Structure 1
Amino acid sequence: MKNPPALLVIILLGILSIATNRLQAESSSAHALSQLRNQLADERGNTIPDFSRAGYRGGGVALPRVLTIGTLSPSDETGDDGARIQKIIDEIATLPANADGHRGALLLKRGVYRVAGSLYVPGGVVLRGEGSGETDATVIIATGTKRRELVILGDVEKRPPVTLVGNTPAPFGSAEIKGTRRRITDTYVPWSTHTLTLEHIDGLSVGDRVVILRPGTTEWIAGLGMDSIQEIDMYSDRKLYQWKPAEYDFPLERFINAIDVETRRVTLDAPLMIALDEQYGGGWLYRAESHRATECGVESLRLVSEYKKGKEKTDTDHATVGVTLRTVENTWIRDVVALHFNIGFVVERTAIFTTIRGSALLDPISPVRGGYRYGFSLRGQYGLVENCRTRNARHAFSTAARARGPNVFLDGVAELSHTDSGPHERFAIGTLYDNIRESKDLVVQNRGNWGTGHGWAGAQQVFWNCTVSGEIVLQRPPTAQNYAIGCIGKLAGGRFPDMPRGLIWSHNQHVQPASLYRAQLEARTLTSTHFTN
């Protein structure tokens, strides 16, 4: 056999060198991240949690390109296009799914479509356009004065209730499998750990979907001071609600990566994001089954909410939400612009493993006050919002009450914001704000009686290498922590400046790794300690 040409040898050596350098860089990044997490750990073992499982199929998995099955062109008529769009979606939904769970996509050709109601995209189906730009796009105009969501992902029909997951009915997420509940026996489980000890491991296997139920208790709420929120300058039309234990159960959906039979310890795919403490009720683990629609998406569309011209800051009688991800798992939104909606994109608390990428809420039409102008609202678990932007929003990147995480906002830009990004109310846990550029403020604090008793807005919130034109407010709740690492912006005290400050590291100087989410994803890939659902 002849020796390979010298040029080929050089090329092969070059490829090998590039691959080696990349592996060394990833290893170095993982090592630096491990060191930082150790430095920031408290006396009980809590530190910055791992967010790498956030996103479609648990992070690090490319969004699919689903085969186009149906095509529709704009009508010459000026009437409602909703029925004919929904008809083809429903026809595709009857087709058998392939091995990946996909049935097919409906392609809306460039042009304008008018929809007076809502469009429902069920499991296995993709609603796709040919662009979201200001020109040469596929435009869906939400017509009329009805307040509604324009596009809803998730099956319309719901199965009958089986049991509850915390306060969430079974048809709206996951249902407990009867007879599988058992106590967690650890005295204390840090929020950043992946492992816990059970009273028994009977019936558990690697890959099982489980729920860790962290109960809300009177003692925990009292420890937070949320049973005695003070009335301060309340709006006359609002009533103050103190927190109630039954409303603060945290059902945390996870997957089992490993089981140690001798010690009865299980390793989970993601940390809990909230500590389990025996003095506050400890916790339980049980197996669960999902009742969600899967593998559906919305792509390359420009959604426009019709409104009364001249009433840009008063009109509320028009389509409210651009896209809602409802009872779904492994779903996505890609390249979608929502124009003039009050809320751009909502991921409901029943959703899991979702990605919103390259999308935007622009120029919402509504009053500039509480309850209006939300850009991207993550309320579920394992949600990723990547490379998205807002313009003229109030809360550009935010979470809602008791959002359970892990959730990630990555490489987001908020232009002309009217107020802050950050957790909005009532103890959202486990959110990463990674390289967010916010034109107003970035805040996690005790909001007290704002709203109807928002109280402590969030815990285990991580601001990483964010750039803030306004103020950064970082307060620490009892039993928890919040972090600002490598963030640029003016530090401020917030509504109650005497509250304890969270952990601030390298203020006004970005740190390495540049992105926490990407570094954690690389570290997980290197160690291969994850289960792909």
Structure 2
Amino acid sequence: MKFVIVSNNDFMKHIDSPISKVKTGLTLFLLLLNSFAQADSIPMEKVTLKNEWVHLGADGKLVYKKTPKGDRIMDFSYAGYKGGGIALPNIPVKITVKPLADASADCTALIQAAIDKVSAMPLNKDGFRGTVLLEPGTYPCSNTIKIMADGIVLRGSGKSEKGSIISMNGVKHTAIVLSNGINQRIGNRLGNAGDNEKAIKITDNYIAAGSISFTVANASGFTIGDNVEIRKPVTEKWVKFMQMDDLIRDGKPQTWIKTGSLLITERRIAAIKGNKITLDVPLVDSYDAAYTNDETTMVLANDVKRLKQAGVENLRIVSPPQAVSHTKALYYGVRLNGEDCWLRDLDLIETMESVGTGGRRITLQRVAVVRKALHQGPSKPAEFAPNAGQLLLDQCSVEGDNIWFAALGAGQTGPIVFLNCNFIGNGRIEGHQRWSTGMLLDNCKAPNGGIDFKNRGSMGSGHGWGTAWSVAWNCEANSYVNQIPPGTYNWVIGSKGKSTPIPRPFNSAGPNLPEGIFESPNTPVNPSSLYLTQLEERLGKQALKAIGY
């Protein structure tokens, strides 16, 4: 039996009709079953007309539905600068830069010299050195501007055409890179064990998605505040369970995730009681000893040396139009690899693969990408590559066609939150490949595009399952591919748009893969914003005010 999506308007038409006087629940049920088929159908067992997985209880607090094993929608509120709910800082200006008198002269060295000078200044007690301010005007740049020291901010005087403009030219390069260049631990991605590491076994038979604590064999070598990695081994048994052991493309076997590699999640220890470890942020994924060969471990990782307390804000980056494949592009936007860093009030015009992130506890606020030149070729660029843990994209936007609006990379773990973001064009947002987990799209709009939590099969080089434990909450999209990986869930809740059941790519004869959870299709739910409600419940109203809500 199929259950057809019913829009709120059509439902109200039925309620206002004479038949609404019939008060039996059966009548209403039949009305819904026979209402106008505006969208593709969804299996009835996957649909509810209210939000059961997260809803407000009688006391106004959030109530979470759990699976029999205890899995739940996670608390996403830890995403963002300093772990969420903390205002982005305004750092005093140390050096002001003006455009060169010759409007065509290259300004890369001018800006870099100012950044280097502030980089040599001492850190203050809050971990900042100071801001380099660009006065209004155009700054032609033929090479990358680099921020490599903690506590540095590059600030323009506005992101409009009358503000501060980085005008890209010359050789192939990225406009701005924030990274200290140190070879860092992987953290929140796919990786391998390092030399001389002491891995402590986690003894729980099952750790549910959304959990914040677990038991280890011996906690004596750890202290509160330690940075740790939780490591899920990729085993042959798990790959087979995920039905990823039979990927074929052009007659050749494809590898989803190499067995023996590790899915790594980075956290801090918040509490220790005996051998029980409590983390600072919930876990996104589930950990089943039956499929990890009982080899899930925790490793001390205090030697992470990321760039910290750095940002770029209030300016415009402009590239010449690039109507080419992303493989032939010359000009890219911003790359940020750090911790407790931010991008704020940026416009990126015609850059390719515009914003890439790595690290954790990062906020991107009001970052807009505009691509008028049509990208060429079937392989698409990702304008946002949100590959950082505890990442918040707040009021960001992309405009363009034949692109990925945003695509998560292999093994990326959340929470990763898109809040009040807008996407214009026919692009899509998705976990792109190889088991990214913990993405929330909260009140995001892609009216001509799509939101996908799906299996990409043999696409790419064997991308396979791209997303698990991810949520679209009160969103709008033209279509959703919402699929359910074995042993996990994905959710589309209170969101407008049609479901598009599909088979695994390169297996187009079918069958369609099982669909994820749909709740209250085409009808928004309460609370209006999951992220903001979770944040307020955890830290209070002052946390909302701190981030502008």
Q: TM-score, normalised by structure 2?
A: 0.81
Contact 1:103 1:124 (8 Å CA) reproduced: yes
Inter-CA distance 179–312: structure 2 relative to 1 (3 Å threshold): closer
Distance in 2 (CA, whole Å) between partners of 1:433 and 1:357 is 15
Give the equivalent residue in structure 2 for 1:273: 284
Contact 1:314 1:366 (8 Å CA) reproduced: no
Alignment pair present for 1:380 and 2:384: no
Provide the aligned C-alpha RMSD in A. Answer: 2.6
Q: Which deviates the most, 442-451 or 383-392?
A: 442-451
Give the equivalent residue in structure 1 for 2:151: 124
Contact 1:315 1:366 (8 Å CA) reproduced: no
Inter-CA distance 526–131: structure 2 relative to 1 (3 Å threshold): closer
Cα offset, 1:183, TM superposition: 0.7
Give the equivalent residue in structure 2 for 1:531: none
Cα offset, 1:148, TM superposition: 2.5
Alignment pair present for 1:293 and 2:303: no
Q: Which deviates the most, 94-103 or 364-373?
A: 364-373
Alignment pair present for 1:148 and 2:173: yes
Inter-CA distance 324–510: structure 2 relative to 1 (3 Å threshold): same
Distance in 2 (CA, whole Å) between partners of 1:421 and 1:386 is 15
Inter-CA distance 364–450: structure 2 relative to 1 (3 Å threshold): farther
Structural mapping, 1:131-530, within 5 Å: 131-133=158-160, 135-144=161-170, 146-156=171-181, 158=182, 168=191, 180-231=198-249, 241-246=254-259, 248-261=261-274, 264-281=275-292, 282=294, 283-289=296-302, 290-307=304-321, 312=323, 317-326=328-337, 328-348=338-358, 351-363=359-371, 365=373, 367-393=375-401, 394-416=403-425, 418-439=426-447, 440-468=449-477, 470-496=478-504, 498-525=512-539
Contact 1:342 1:372 (8 Å CA) reproduced: no
Distance in 2 (CA, whole Å) between partners of 1:62 and 1:400 is 28
Cα offset, 1:116, TM superposition: 0.6
Q: Match for 2:298: what amino acid?
A: L
Contact 2:247 2:457 (8 Å CA) reproduced: yes
Cα offset, 1:427, TM superposition: 1.2
81, 86, 101: which one pairs with 2:107?
Answer: 81
Alignment pair present for 1:102 and 2:128: yes
Inter-CA distance 451–167: structure 2 relative to 1 (3 Å threshold): closer
Q: Which deviates the most, 503-512 or 397-406?
A: 397-406
Q: Secondary structure at the match of 2:438?
A: strand
Contact 2:335 2:355 (8 Å CA) reproduced: yes
Distance in 2 (CA, whole Å) between partners of 1:186 and 1:243 is 27
Q: Match for 2:152: what amino acid?
A: V
Inter-CA distance 240–395: structure 2 relative to 1 (3 Å threshold): farther
Inter-CA distance 32–240: structure 2 relative to 1 (3 Å threshold): farther
Inter-CA distance 527–303: structure 2 relative to 1 (3 Å threshold): closer
Inter-CA distance 124–345: structure 2 relative to 1 (3 Å threshold): same
Cα offset, 1:441, TM superposition: 1.2
Distance in 2 (CA, whole Å) between partners of 1:219 and 1:425 is 20
Q: Secondary structure at the match of 2:318?
A: strand
Inter-CA distance 303–29: structure 2 relative to 1 (3 Å threshold): farther
Contact 2:188 2:388 (8 Å CA) reproduced: no
Distance in 1 (CA, whole Å) between partners of 2:57 and 2:152 is 38
Contact 2:56 2:62 (8 Å CA) reproduced: no
Alignment pair present for 1:90 and 2:99: no
Cα offset, 1:368, TM superposition: 4.0
Give the equivalent residue in structure 2 for 1:34: 62
Cα offset, 1:498, TM superposition: 2.0
Inter-CA distance 522–187: structure 2 relative to 1 (3 Å threshold): same
Contact 2:434 2:463 (8 Å CA) reproduced: yes
Distance in 2 (CA, whole Å) between partners of 1:265 and 1:212 is 14
Taking only the aligned residue pairs, the percentage that are identical comes to 30
Q: Match for 1:465: what amino acid?
A: N
Q: Match for 1:347: what amino acid?
A: T
**Per-residue CA distance 1:182-219 (angstroms, 9 max, x = gap):** 11000000011111011111032222211111111111
Q: Secondary structure at the match of 2:71?
A: coil
**Per-residue CA distance 1:238-268 (angstroms, 9 max, x = gap):** x76322434751111011122222xx21111
Distance in 2 (CA, whole Å) between partners of 1:472 and 1:163 is 31
Contact 2:130 2:152 (8 Å CA) reproduced: yes
Contact 2:233 2:260 (8 Å CA) reproduced: no
Q: Match for 2:354: what amino acid?
A: G
Residue segments in structure 2 that go unaligned for 5+ positions in a row: 1-54, 505-510, 543-549
Give the equivalent residue in structure 1 for 2:43: none
Inter-CA distance 28–495: structure 2 relative to 1 (3 Å threshold): closer
**Per-residue CA distance 1:276-315 (angstroms, 9 max, x = gap):** 11112241112212211100000011001124xxx73568
Residue segments in structure 1 that go unaligned for 5+ positions in a row: 1-26, 529-533
Cα offset, 1:397, TM superposition: 2.7
Distance in 2 (CA, whole Å) between partners of 1:442 and 1:518 is 21
Give the equivalent residue in structure 1 for 2:547: none
Q: Secondary structure at the match of 1:517?
A: helix
Q: Match for 2:455: what amino acid?
A: N
Q: TM-score, normalised by structure 1?
A: 0.84
Inter-CA distance 223–380: structure 2 relative to 1 (3 Å threshold): same
Inter-CA distance 463–104: structure 2 relative to 1 (3 Å threshold): same
**Per-residue CA distance 1:312-369 (angstroms, 9 max, x = gap):** 356865543211112x111000001111011121113xx1111100111101646344
Give the equivalent residue in structure 1 for 2:82: 57
Cα offset, 1:69, TM superposition: 0.4
Alignment pair present for 1:46 and 2:58: no
